[in-house]
A and B are shown apart, each in its own frame.
Chain A
Amino acid sequence: SQTIHQWPATLVQPVGSPLSLECTVEGTSNPNLYWYRQAAGRGLQLLFYSVGIGQISSEVPQNLSASRPQDRQFILSSKKLLLSDSGFYLCAWNLRGLSEKLFFGSGTQLSVL
Chain B
Amino acid sequence: SAVISQKPSRDICQRGTSLTIQCQVDSQVTMMFWYRQQPGQSLTLIATANQGSEATYESGFVIDKFPISRPNLTFSTLTVSNMSPEDSSIYLCSVETGGETEAFFGQGTRLTVV
Does B bind A?
Answer: no
Q: Which residues of B contact A (CB under 8 A)?
A: none
